[in-house]
């Protein structure tokens, strides 16, 4: 939100960007640092004539985009336009160097070049220091000349073609619509919208009409009487004198001004007041009316209706405004159309500096009421500057190019275009008016966006005040409450949008199509909870069936105790089995403590608090469609999770048909971002509104809390955000460089001018959370994982020994690996008991069958077993020669006789003898060729 700051006498006015929705007290230190004005820390801050409280938030009237924020009480005056539309009567400067200015008439005011708070100060050099006085008594306004050098003339609203009478030095009535000309300026008295007064002609005009009728009729009647009395018909000629005189008077009488087409008034600063006063009776584009409309819009918080669009005057997208006063006329037309933005090309750019305000108040995305305008002033025009959604305005070019088919003469108001020639009446404003009007439009847009329930188009968690550095995170953890409040974005009027999973949940449903901001909402929930609650009180289990890209580096938060990133039946079943075991564990803990709900956990219990577990499942529709058998386990978790402190956050692109009645009954918090079908929207929030969210608003969401009303919010991105105060990019004033760090909770590794929103920022944020966790209550127990990490891809016998008791090995079993038991949230050694029968290992090539046999043989040899190997050459065994010294016969199917002899001998082998056969089918086929199949028979008997 762009505003101007006046630090004080002798210091230049600065354009600043302020964060919306921030209290003024929190901005004071930053205002002082950026502006170089120490007084901003303690001095009163005012906009216009209103001193702002410290709790006043940016984006709330009058501290809106385009406002002038003053430090101290010096030279503070009320906004004339706003005060004018509040008053019953106001004076509008329709012509002159101050054209477009409004001033309220309340009590008695002065008009002149003297600078007084109660005076309408004009910059017209032909106006006296004190020229007029105006006073309002009741419902009437009176005016008088106070001894000016040049005098003043009053022109009635119904007779503007006439020169007008001199304003006397005594009080005379000033009616609505009447104009007073003084110097090179023209003032018009206008009534506010609530007290609009008709500008009809006085009743004397009706008497004039009666006089004309009498002039025509009475001589005719008299001539008839003379003829009757004298008998002389020639006297009838006298009756013709009356109608002839009435006709002459009627010709000399001015026509009804309402029947005259208005003409352009020409430049605001040219021409005498008499010439201009006789030239027009109205204007299609009136700078004063535009100012009043914009001021009223600020007060009600709604944007004004745009005036004539430039596109209507530029059918081919190009308009040339030529002649004297072209810049004023062009600026008035541009501001009347309320374009999306203005780009200025050429040496005349500094005069168009006001255009920088047109984008500053557009907080809500898509708030564009017109095309973008390209102003060419002082440069050779090129056709490439045009294009779709653009209107090129050539300001007083030396030569109108042939590809420009529309031209407007600023002096006469003549428009010459493809449709012919017509009059486009424009009553332009001055340069000061353009500056104020552009600020006013910026303010209207920001009031609509924040003061009237609108939303920003982008917001970050850092911009909303969440700590982003280790010290701030530790402070937030220390003050954490017993709930589970997640800051997810910005709501109406700049309020924080929060949801409490513990009190309002317990579960959350998120729906949104691709590009709607669904993954960013999940990231905001996870990040904001991690920044507010320590890992001893909160744990995350992240399930992302899109490959894990949605959470990125956030999966490395110390709160994360489990992740699943692939849609694999085994991994999904393992995760849900682990969650079911976690529910059983929590039930047992609550029963041991004698409570039914985690919120009733006794404070002095020697048993560590189990903490809350938030399970985030992105794209759970894929789970429902690919693994429908597992949905029952998910529904049981949803049903039992409330009292056990287990919360589900379920997200999907298309919720229709996958949210069962059991899930819906336990999901009280429902977010709907943009969806492609009204049925999806109704399925989540019971209204079709989410299907109408435009694609240009990513992150715009609708929230329903249980049976409550629909709430609109803008989802926050995980990022630092812009600093609350910074110099506006186009500000040319010199000022100290903004501080490199604002607040103690800012990540100093990131430049504040370019805050990162990507993976680098996530990595640094995770590192800051780990730093805070390292200093958080060392020794405190953290919540356990609902499921253990996946089994390692490689495991040595030395590592396996950590899971057994080496000093008391079980001689009857041979351990060979590590087993996962997710239903019991534990791991155990996988071992084979030879006494229970033979072991068959089934698997394809490179599946680990040979490794299993070698592992069993190695363990058996270490325990003194006699081991023989078939199909396992010596080079596949470990390099422990002392161990291999006890290895018995080693042969393969390529030597069937030796293999048959080994089988025969093993029929009478002593106990604790192990035969390992790799590729038993191949060995069987080899034995079938020995002794007419006898070798195979003996092998079968051995089994």
| Nearest alpha-carbon partner for 505 in 712, 681, 708, 647 | 647
Instruction: Classify the C-alpha dihedral 526-527-530-531 as positive or negative.
Output: negative
Task: Write down the H helix ranges in 453-545.
Answer: 470-478, 501-504, 518-532
| pTM of the predicted structure, to 2 decimals | 0.61
What mean pLDDT is reported for the chain?
A: 79
Instruction: Band the pLDDT of 744: cuts 50, 70, 90.
Output: very low
Assess whether pLDDT exceeds 90 at residue 242: no
Give helix then strand counts, H and E, for the chain: 24, 41
Instruction: Classify the C-alpha dihedral 53-54-60-63 as positive or negative.
Output: positive
Q: Which residues contact 408 (CB under 8 A, 6 or more apart)?
A: 313, 319, 320, 321, 322, 329, 414, 415, 416, 424
Between helix 896-906 and helix 934-942 the angle, nearest 10°, is 40
How far is the C-alpha of 46 from the C-alpha of 55, rounded, in Å? 13
Assess whether pLDDT exceeds 50 at residue 254: no
pLDDT in tens, 863-922: 888 899 998 887 778 766 666 777 888 898 888 888 888 888 888 888 889 999 998 888
pLDDT in tens, 90-125: 999 999 999 999 999 988 999 998 856 668 889 999
Least confidently predicted of 81-85, 145-149, 282-286, 645-649:
282-286
**pLDDT recorded at residue 230:** 75
**pLDDT recorded at residue 260:** 33
Q: Quote the DSSP letter at residue 705.
A: E
**In the predicted model, what is the mean pLDDT of residues 421-442?**
87
Mode of pairing for the β-strands spanning 390-395 and 372-376? parallel
Please list, residue by residue across 742-774, b when 16 or more beta carbons sit within 10 angstroms of its beta carbon and e when fewer do: bbebbbeebebeebbbeeebbbbbbebbebbbe
Are 586 and 595 in contact by the 8 Å Cβ rule? The answer is no
Instruction: Band the pLDDT of 367: cuts 50, 70, 90.
Output: very low
Q: What is the DSSP string of 424-455?
A: --EE---HHHHHHHHHHHHHHHHIIIIITS--
Whole-Å CA distances, 441 to 206, 294, 370, 588: 44, 7, 13, 63
Q: What percent of the chain has pLDDT over 70?
A: 80
**pLDDT recorded at residue 202:** 44
Q: How far is CA 615 from the centre of its chain?
A: 27
Between helix 326-337 and helix 287-300 the angle, nearest 10°, is 30
How far is the C-alpha of 184 from the C-alpha of 17, rounded, in Å? 39
Instruction: Band the pLDDT of 215: cuts 50, 70, 90.
Output: low
Q: How far apart are the first and last CA of the chain?
A: 84
**pLDDT recorded at residue 804:** 60
**pLDDT recorded at residue 170:** 92
Q: Which two tokens stand for residue 39?
A: 């007084």
How far is the C-alpha of 31 from the C-alpha of 41, rounded, in Å? 8
Assess whether pLDDT exceeds 80 at residue 448: no
**pLDDT recorded at residue 742:** 28
Instruction: Classify the C-alpha dihedral 296-298-299-301 as positive or negative.
Output: positive
| Nearest alpha-carbon partner for 411 in 271, 259, 258 | 271
| Domains present along the chain, CATH in parentheses | 2-71 (3.10.20.90), 88-203+258-277 (2.60.200.20), 291-451 (no CATH), 470-570+609-720+754-770 (3.40.50.300), 797-942 (no CATH)
Q: Which residues contact 259 (CB under 8 A, 6 or more apart)?
A: none
Instruction: Band the pLDDT of 806: cuts 50, 70, 90.
Output: very low
């Amino acid at each position: 939100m762009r505003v101007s700051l006046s630090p004080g006498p002798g210091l230049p006015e600065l354009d600043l960007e302020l964060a919306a929705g921030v209290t003024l007290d929190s901005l004071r230190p930053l205002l002082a640092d950026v502006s170089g004005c120490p007084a901003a820390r303690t001095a009163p801050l005012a906009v216009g004539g209103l001193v702002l409280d410290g709790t006043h938030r940016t984006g709330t009237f009058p501290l809106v985009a385009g406002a002038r924020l003053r430090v101290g009480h010096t030279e503070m005056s009320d906004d004339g336009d706003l005060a004018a539309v509040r008053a019953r009567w106001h004076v509008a400067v329709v012509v002159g160097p101050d054209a477009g200015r409004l001033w309220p008439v309340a009590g008695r005011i002065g008009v002149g070049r003297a600078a007084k708070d109660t005076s309408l100060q004009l910059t017209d050099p032909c106006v006296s220091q004190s020229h007029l006085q105006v006073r309002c008594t009741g419902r009437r306004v009176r005016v008088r000349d106070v001894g000016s050098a040049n005098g003043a003339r009053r022109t009635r609203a119904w007779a503007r073609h006439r020169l007008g009478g001199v304003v006397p030095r005594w009080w005379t009535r000033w009616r609505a619509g009447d104009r007073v000309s003084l110097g090179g300026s023209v003032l018009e008295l206008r009534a506010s919208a609530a007290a609009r007064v008709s500008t009809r002609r006085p009743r004397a005009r009706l008497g004039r009409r009666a006089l004309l009728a009498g002039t025509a009729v009475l001589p005719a009647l008299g001539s008839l009487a003379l003829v009757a009395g004298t008998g002389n018909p020639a006297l009838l000629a006298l009756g013709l004198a009356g109608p002839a005189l009435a006709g002459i008077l009627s010709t000399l009488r001015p026509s009804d001004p309402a029947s005259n087409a208005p003409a352009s008034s020409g430049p605001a600063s040219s021409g005498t007041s008499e010439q201009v006063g006789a030239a027009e009776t109205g204007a299609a584009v009136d700078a004063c009316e535009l100012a009043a409309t914009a001021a009223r819009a600020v007060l009600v918080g709604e944007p004004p209706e745009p005036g004539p669009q430039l596109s209507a005057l530029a059918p081919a997208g190009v308009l040339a405004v030529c002649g004297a006063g072209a810049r004023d006329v062009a600026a008035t037309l541009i501001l009347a159309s309320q374009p999306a933005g203005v780009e200025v090309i050429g040496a005349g750019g500094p005069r168009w500096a006001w255009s920088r305000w047109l984008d500053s108040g557009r907080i809500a995305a898509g708030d564009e009421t017109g095309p973008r305008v390209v102003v060419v002033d002082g440069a050779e025009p090129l056709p490439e500057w045009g294009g779709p959604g653009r209107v090129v305005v050539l300001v007083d070019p030396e030569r109108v190019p042939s590809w420009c088919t529309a031209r407007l003469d600023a002096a006469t108001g003549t428009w010459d275009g493809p449709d012919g020639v017509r009059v486009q009446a424009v009553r332009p404003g001055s340069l000061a008016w353009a500056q104020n009007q552009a600020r006013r439009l910026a303010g209207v847009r920001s009031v609509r966006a924040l003061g009237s329930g609108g939303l920003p188009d982008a917001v970050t968690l850092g911009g909303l005040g969440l700590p982003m550095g280790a010290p701030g995170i530790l402070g937030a953890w220390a003050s954490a409450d017993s709930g589970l409040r997640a800051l997810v974005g910005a709501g109406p009027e700049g309020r924080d949008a929060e949801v409490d999973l513990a009190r309002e949940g317990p579960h959350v449903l998120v729906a949104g199509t691709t590009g709607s901001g669904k993954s960013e909402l999940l990231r905001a929930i996870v990040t904001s909870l991690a920044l507010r609650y320590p890992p001893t009180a909160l744990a995350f289990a992240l399930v992302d069936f899109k490959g894990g890209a949605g959470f990125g580096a956030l999966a490395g938060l110390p709160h994360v105790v489990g992740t699943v990133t692939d849609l694999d039946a085994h991994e999904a079943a393992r995760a849900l089995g682990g969650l079911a075991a976690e529910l059983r564990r929590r039930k047992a803990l609550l029963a041991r403590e004698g409570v039914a709900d985690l919120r009733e956990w006794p404070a002095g219990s020697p048993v560590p608090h189990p903490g809350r577990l938030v399970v985030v499942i992105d794209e759970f529709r894929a789970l429902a469609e690919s693994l429908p058998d597992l949905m029952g386990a998910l529904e049981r978790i949803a049903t039992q999770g409330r009292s056990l402190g287990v919360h589900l956050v379920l997200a999907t692109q298309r919720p229709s048909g996958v949210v069962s009645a059991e899930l819906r009954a336990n999901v009280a918090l429902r977010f709907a971002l943009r969806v492609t079908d009204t049925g999806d929207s109704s399925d989540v929030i019971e209204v079709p509104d989410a299907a109408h969210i435009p694609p240009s608003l990513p992150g715009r969401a609708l929230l329903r809390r249980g049976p409550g009303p629909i709430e609109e919010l803008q989802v926050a991105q995980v990022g630092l955000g812009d600093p609350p105060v910074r110099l506006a990019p186009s500000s040319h004033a010199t000022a100290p460089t903004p501080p490199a760090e604002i607040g103690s909770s800012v990540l100093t590794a990131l430049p504040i001018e370019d805050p990162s929103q990507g993976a680098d920022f996530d990595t640094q944020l995770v590192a800051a959370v780990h730093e805070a966790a390292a200093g958080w209550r060392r020794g405190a127990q953290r919540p356990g994982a609902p499921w253990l990490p996946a089994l390692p891809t490689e495991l040595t016998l030395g590592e396996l020994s950590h899971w057994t008791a080496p000093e008391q090995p079980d001689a009857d079993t041979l351990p060979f690996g590590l087993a996962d038991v997710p239903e019991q949230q534990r791991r155990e050694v996988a071992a084979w008991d030879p006494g229970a029968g033979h072991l068959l290992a089934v698997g394809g090539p490179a599946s680990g069958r040979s490794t299993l046999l070698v592992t069993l043989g190695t363990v058996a040899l270490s325990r003194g077993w006699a081991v023989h190997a078939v199909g396992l050459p010596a080079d596949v065994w470990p390099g422990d020669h002392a161990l291999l010294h006890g290895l018995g016969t080693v042969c393969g199917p390529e030597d069937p006789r030796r293999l048959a002899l080994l089988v025969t001998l093993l029929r009478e082998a002593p106990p604790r003898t192990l035969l390992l056969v790799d590729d038993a089918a191949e060995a069987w086929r080899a034995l079938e060729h020995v002794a007419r199949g006898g070798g195979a028979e003996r092998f079968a008997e051995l089994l």
